[in-house]
């Protein structure tokens, strides 16, 4: 499959992408994960991106496009991909359109995950992440807590609240989403690529997406 996942922070893009990739081996491409790995590794890219990310701001389009142009040409993308967290702005979507044309890649469609705002807020403030960059398991202090001593059930590393998951940064990320990313819904509607799913349960949503792919 070749799809893009759209949705607010906390809509479940990461979970849905992971489940979809397990179905047919399509790779999950998360710009957030790529950027966080670069920050941990202390690379030039990471140094440039860190400040924006900690504030809950978007990283500049030019930086993201450089990453994605390279990423889409890696051999594992040939089988298919699920983009999670990209594109995030109208300029990124426009540049992606020309990039896909240049590489002769055509998308199946764009999935828009619709989740009510109160559900999103609750999920984001209760989310915790494994601090081990190789693991990054996601927990929820209410519905899926880590070990009682605050360590990861998978790898034993401390489970933490990400710098961009403080309440202030979360509100800012949601504002940024509304201002910069929500307009992509209209963009892809015009392109005839948009498919919207009311999504509260990732597993069910994945089933619906697969049905839409088969149709
Ligand atoms: P979220 O949980 O907000 O969906 P991600 O894990 O997708 O977060 O991304 C984390 C941060 O990385 C974003 O807040 C932003 O700073 C940066 N980022 C990720 N993808 C993009 C993108 N396509 N364009 C600009 N910035 C991005
Ligand atoms: Zn872990």
Residue 7 in contact with ligand 1 by CB distance below 6 A:
no
- Residues 142-185 have pLDDT tens digits of 989 999 999 999 999 999 998 878 888 889 889 999 999 999 99
Q: What is the mean pLDDT of residues 56-70?
A: 93
pLDDT score at 40 = 87
pLDDT score at 160 = 93
Ligand approaching nearest to the C-alpha of 150 = 2
Report how far Cα 131 is from the mean position of its chain's Cα atoms.
Answer: 18
198-214: b or e for each residue (b if 16 or more CB lie within 10 Å)?
A: ebeebeebbeebeeebe
Residue 28 in contact with ligand 1 by CB distance below 6 A:
no
Residue nearest to atom 5 of ligand 1 (CA): 32
pLDDT score at 169 = 85
pLDDT score at 77 = 95
- Structural domains in the chain plus CATH codes: 2-26+79-214 (3.40.50.300)
* Distance between Cα 35 and ligand 1 center (Å): 8
Q: How far is CA 24 from CA 1, 30, 79, 111, 209, in A?
A: 8, 17, 8, 17, 13
Residue 64 in contact with ligand 1 by CB distance below 6 A:
yes
Token pair of 135, please?
């693991």
pLDDT score at 54 = 87
Mutational pocket test of ligand 1: of 9, 10, 16, 32, the residue with most ligand atoms within 8 Å of the beta carbon: 32
Q: What is the mean pLDDT of residues 179-194?
A: 98
Percent of the chain with pLDDT over 90: 80
Token pair of 192, please?
């005839």
Distance CA 189, CA 116 (A): 20
pTM: 0.86
- Residues 88-136 have pLDDT tens digits of 999 999 999 999 999 999 999 999 999 998 999 998 899 899 999 889 8
């Amino acid at each position: 499959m070749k799809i893009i996942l759209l949705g607010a922070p906390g809509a479940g893009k990461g979970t849905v992408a992971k489940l979809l990739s397990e179905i047919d081996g399509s790779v999950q491409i998360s710009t957030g994960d790529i950027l966080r790995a670069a920050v941990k590794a202390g690379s030039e890219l990471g140094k440039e991106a860190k400040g924006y990310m900690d504030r809950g701001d978007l990283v500049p389009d030019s930086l993201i496009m450089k990453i994605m142009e390279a990423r889409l040409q890696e051999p594992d993308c040939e089988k298919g991909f699920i983009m999670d967290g990209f594109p995030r702005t109208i300029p990124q979507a426009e540049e992606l359109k020309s990039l896909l044309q240049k590489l002769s890649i055509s998308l199946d469609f764009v999935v828009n995950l619709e989740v009510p705002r109160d559900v999103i807020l609750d999920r984001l403030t209760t989310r915790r992440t494994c601090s081990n960059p190789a693991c990054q398991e996601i927990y929820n202090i209410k519905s899926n807590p880590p070990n009682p001593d605050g360590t990861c059930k998978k790898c034993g590393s401390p489970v933490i609240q990400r710098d961009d998951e403080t309440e202030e940064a979360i509100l800012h990320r949601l504002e940024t989403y509304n201002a910069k990313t929500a307009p992509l819904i209209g963009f892809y509607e015009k392109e005839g690529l948009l498919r919207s799913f009311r999504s509260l349960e990732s597993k069910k949503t994945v089933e619906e997406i697969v049905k839409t792919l088969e149709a």
